[in-house]
Amino acid sequence: MWGKESGMGNTSRREFIKKAILAGATITAWPTVIVRKARASWARKTEVHPNVNNLRVVGITDVRMTKANEPVTSWARQEKLVVGEVVWENIDKLACRLTEIRNPEEAWRTIFIKPPRKSWSDAVVAIKTNHIALQHTRSAVMSKVCHVFSDFLGVRETNIHIYD
Indicate whether 55 belongs to any domain. no
156 plus 96 within the same structural domain = yes
75 plus 150 within the same structural domain = yes
Compute CA 143 distance to the chain's CA centroid, rounded to the nearest angstrom: 20
Q: What mean pLDDT is predicted for residues 60-76? A: 88
Residue that wins the pLDDT comparison between 130 and 105: 105
The structure's pTM equals: 0.69
8 plus 81 within the same structural domain = no
Interstrand relation of 160-163 and 135-136 (parallel, antiparallel or unpaired): unpaired
Q: Let me know: does 63 contact 90? Beta carbons within 8 Å.
A: no
Q: What mean pLDDT is predicted for residues 63-73? A: 88
Average pLDDT, the chain: 84
Encode pLDDT of 6-17 as tens digits. 555 677 888 888
Q: How confident is the model at residue 127 (pLDDT cuts 50, 70, 90)?
A: very high
Residue type present at position 40: A
In percent, the amount of the chain with pLDDT more than 90 equals: 51
Three-state secondary-structure class, residue 161:
strand
Q: Let me know: does 59 contact 91? Beta carbons within 8 Å.
A: no
Phi, psi of 103 (to 5 degrees): -85, 120
Encode pLDDT of 73-104 as tens digits. 888 888 899 999 999 999 999 999 999 999 99
Nearest to residue 156, comparing CAs of 113, 125, 116, 112? 125
Indicate whether 40 belongs to any domain. no
**Structural domain harbouring 118:** 63-163
